[in-house]
Amino acid sequence: MVQYSVIFIWICFVRLMETNSRNIPENIKVQNVSVVQNIESFLENHSTLSVIPLQKQSKSSHLWALRYMLGIKVENDYLLAQLADASDYPAKKNVSVDLLYTEKGVTGDILTYIEIDTLQDTQEGNAHVVSGGIGQGSIHIVLEAKQTERFSYNAHFYGRKTLKLMT
């Protein structure tokens, strides 16, 4: 298991080095991760939310590497925030994680592209936007993995600044 953690950390480091921005700006507020145990119950309790599925790519190996993407990344986009975590469980279980990005202040950061890489035991999983989204200053994504003993994710939120007029 240590081997997979080292590989994941190395991948995160390489991805960070590929980006135009190496530091998360001070104006960014990344909220704590909260766990959604059941997406159906979550949606029942938040009936005003509309769910938007993210596109998924997968690669087969001992662990499945899945990539979820939303939006289009263009040349002038920069890294707004990065969230990552890894967990091991004693038995297979369904895992759900809330990923939240919220713009802090009136900086005018607008989300343009989101990329989430996961490593897990199966290719069964999903990612859904439950609020906010591309073209907005915030987003709430529910990330799920089914029947896994290992789960790690690395989420990148890209965007650009737009001019906000003060009134």
pLDDT at residue 55, as a whole number: 77
Distance CA 121, CA 73 (A): 29
Euclidean distance between CA atoms 109 and 114, whole angstroms: 14
Q: Where are the domains of the chain?
A: 39-160
10-19, 112-121, 139-148: which range is least confident on average?
Answer: 10-19
42-55 pLDDT, tens digit per residue, is: 888 888 877 777 77
User: pLDDT category, 12, cuts 50, 70, 90?
Assistant: very low
Residue 2 has pLDDT above 60, yes or no: no
pLDDT at residue 8 greater than cutoff 80: no
* Average pLDDT value for the chain: 79
Rounded average pLDDT over 117-124: 93
Residues 112-149 as b or e (16 or more Cβ within 10 Å = b): bbbbbbbbbbeeebbbbbbbbbbeebbbbbbbbbbebb
- pLDDT, residue 120, reads 94
Helix boundaries (H) for the chain: 2-18, 39-45
**Pairing verdict, β 138-161 and 78-103:** antiparallel
Return the higher-pLDDT residue of 104 and 148: 148
**DSSP line for 7-56:** HHHHHHHHHHHHSS--S--TTEEEPPP---S-HHHHHHHTTT---EEPEE
Cα 167 from Cα 165, distance rounded (Å) = 6
Taking 60 as the threshold, does the pLDDT of residue 71 lie above it? yes
Q: Which comes out higher in pLDDT, residue 14 or 162? A: 162
Q: How many CB atoms lie within 10 A of CB 96?
A: 18
For 82-116, how does the pLDDT look when each residue is reduced to its tens digit (9 = 90+)? 999 999 999 999 999 999 998 765 566 899 999 99
Q: Is the pLDDT of residue 5 over 60?
A: no
